[in-house]
């Protein structure tokens, strides 16, 4: 029997406001998290991530739908019986307890013996690099250290599922990257199914086996990071994950292939074959999605893969590691990230551009 398989079936949560308005915070969410998987709920503020997590934890009850843990409906199960560990943005440590007692808290609730608690807390402090700090109180620790205490407390109880709600949002940028690497390493090492809530797309991309993109209470797409990035289900996902250029194009014909569909499109008078979303129809308008780093530019058309198109540089921004350009290209505005920062194309200059067709995507209108 797998441990830590979590299934959401048509889970909906509505709130009634004091003004008697109904807010559907989560709208028919369907999701399956396999044992040991790291799944991220990603979306803008207010899209229903925390509400989804709180229903999994048992702090909120679905208005309708079911949540199954290892095949069992957990509706009637109180939070402390769900065997889930939770890590919050605010750390939520007990301020009057030291590191040892904070980590030991859940183990004491499980009625473990003193010797057993000592052994596990020792193991945990080593695991999260807090050895030697056992006697300190939260106020005597940095934000990053406090969050590691919270992480140790969550995993000490050997949870079936780990839940994280924006755990890194209160930390500065450098620490955030360090701690997220640590969370991923620990999660892999321990093999605990995890649901991680964030609005930060780079966090989601770097941590997840699976990303669930949410918008206004609904799940827009579920996929691996590279699927979400290269094959977004719609404009919202394409725009929310990284940056995207959208160009309206006409579909000339559609081909089905073993790796999905391709569409032959008319782009500014040139015929091109580009991977396409399922259900595309010839003679319809569609949206071509091109990532800024998939566009090549040069003063000379001969430097570029054919076909090349003309454009004018509207603005140039030098970042050292790369250069960003805004181009005016026919009726489209294009954002370009050029990794070649050894040369800078000047504002106002006429350039050519083309793009990696296999990294572009055609979306249904």
Ligand X SMILES: Nc1ncnc2c1ncn2[C@@H]1O[C@H](COP(=O)(O)OP(=O)(O)O)[C@@H](O)[C@H]1O
Please enumerate in sequence order all residues whose Cβ is within 8 A of that of 173, keeping only pairs 6 or more positions apart, or say none.
none
If one counts every other C-beta atom within 10 angstroms of the C-beta of residue 29, the result is: 24
- Minimum distance between the CB of residue 165 and ligand X, rounded to whole angstroms? 8
Of 38-46, 68-76, 223-231, 271-279, the window that binds ligand X (rule: CB under 6 A) is: 38-46
Give the binding site for Mg ion (CB under 5 A). 50
Helix axes 143-156, 114-127, angle to 10 degrees: 130
- Closer CB to ligand X, residue 50 or residue 294? 50
Within residues 50-109, the interface with ligand X by CB under 6 A covers 50-51
- Binding test (CB under 6 A) with ligand X, winner from 25, 33, 86, 332: 25
Query: Counting contacts by CB under 6 A, is residue 15 touching ligand X?
Result: yes
Distance between CA atoms of residues 328 and 315, nearest Å: 10
* DSSP β-bridge partners for residue 273: 264
- Minimum distance between the CB of residue 26 and ligand X, rounded to whole angstroms? 7
- Closer CB to ligand X, residue 51 or residue 193? 51
- Minimum distance between the CB of residue 177 and ligand X, rounded to whole angstroms? 22
Query: Counting contacts by CB under 6 A, is residue 49 touching ligand X?
Result: yes
- Binding test (CB under 6 A) with ligand X, winner from 20, 21, 45, 283: 45
- Minimum distance between the CB of residue 26 and Mg ion, rounded to whole angstroms? 12
Of 39-47, 68-76, 138-146, 222-230, the window that binds ligand X (rule: CB under 6 A) is: 39-47
- Closer CB to Mg ion, residue 25 or residue 263? 25
- Minimum distance between the CB of residue 50 and ligand X, rounded to whole angstroms? 3
Query: Counting contacts by CB under 6 A, is residue 46 touching ligand X?
Result: yes
Count residues binding ligand X (CB under 6 A): 12
User: Torsion-angle region of residue 202: left (phi > 0), alpha (psi -120 to 50) or beta?
Assistant: alpha
- Minimum distance between the CB of residue 350 and Mg ion, rounded to whole angstroms? 47
Query: Counting contacts by CB under 6 A, is residue 47 touching ligand X?
Result: yes
Interacting residue ranges for ligand X, rule: CB under 6 A? 15, 17, 23, 25, 43, 45-51
């Amino acid at each position: 029997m797998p441990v830590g398989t979590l299934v959401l079936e048509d889970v909906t949560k509505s709130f009634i406001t004091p003004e008697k308005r109904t807010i559907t915070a989560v709208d028919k969410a369907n999701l399956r998290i396999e044992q040991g998987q790291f799944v991220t709920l990603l979306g803008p503020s207010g899209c229903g991530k925390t509400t989804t997590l709180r229903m999994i934890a048992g702090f909120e009850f679905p208005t309708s739908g079911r949540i199954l843990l290892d095949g069992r409906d957990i509706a009637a199960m109180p939070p402390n019986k769900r065997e889930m560990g939770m890590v919050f943005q605010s750390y939520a440590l007990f301020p009057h307890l030291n590191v040892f007692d904070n980590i030991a808290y859940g183990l004491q609730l499980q009625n473990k013996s003193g010797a057993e608690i000592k052994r596990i807390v020792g193991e945990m402090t080593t695991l999260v690099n807090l050895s030697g700090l056992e006697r300190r109180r939260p106020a005597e620790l940095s934000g990053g250290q406090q969050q590691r205490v919270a992480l140790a407390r969550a995993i000490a109880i050997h949870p079936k599922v780990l839940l994280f709600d924006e755990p890194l949002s209160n930390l500065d940028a450098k620490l955030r990257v360090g701690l997220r690497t640590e969370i991923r390493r620990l999660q892999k090492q321990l093999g605990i199914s995890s649901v991680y809530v964030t609005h930060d797309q780079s966090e989601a991309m770097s941590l997840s086996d699976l990303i669930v993109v949410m918008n206004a209470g609904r799940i827009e797409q579920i996929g691996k990071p590279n699927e979400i990035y290269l094959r977004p289900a719609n404009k919202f996902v394409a725009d929310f994950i990284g940056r995207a250029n959208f160009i309206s194009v006409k579909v000339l014909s559609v081909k089905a292939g073993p790796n999905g569909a391709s569409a032959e499109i008319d782009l500014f008078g040139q015929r091109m074959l580009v991977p396409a979303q399922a259900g595309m129809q010839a003679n319809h308008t569609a949206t071509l999605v091109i990532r800024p780093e998939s566009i090549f530019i040069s003063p000379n058309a001969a430097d570029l893969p054919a076909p090349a198109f003309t454009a004018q540089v509207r603005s140039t921004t030098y970042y050292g590691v790369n250069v960003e350009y805004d181009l005016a290209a026919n009726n489209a505005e294009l954002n370009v990230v050029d990794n070649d920062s050894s040369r800078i194309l000047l504002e106002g200059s006429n350039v050519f551009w083309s793009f990696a067709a296999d990294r572009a995507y055609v979306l249904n209108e």
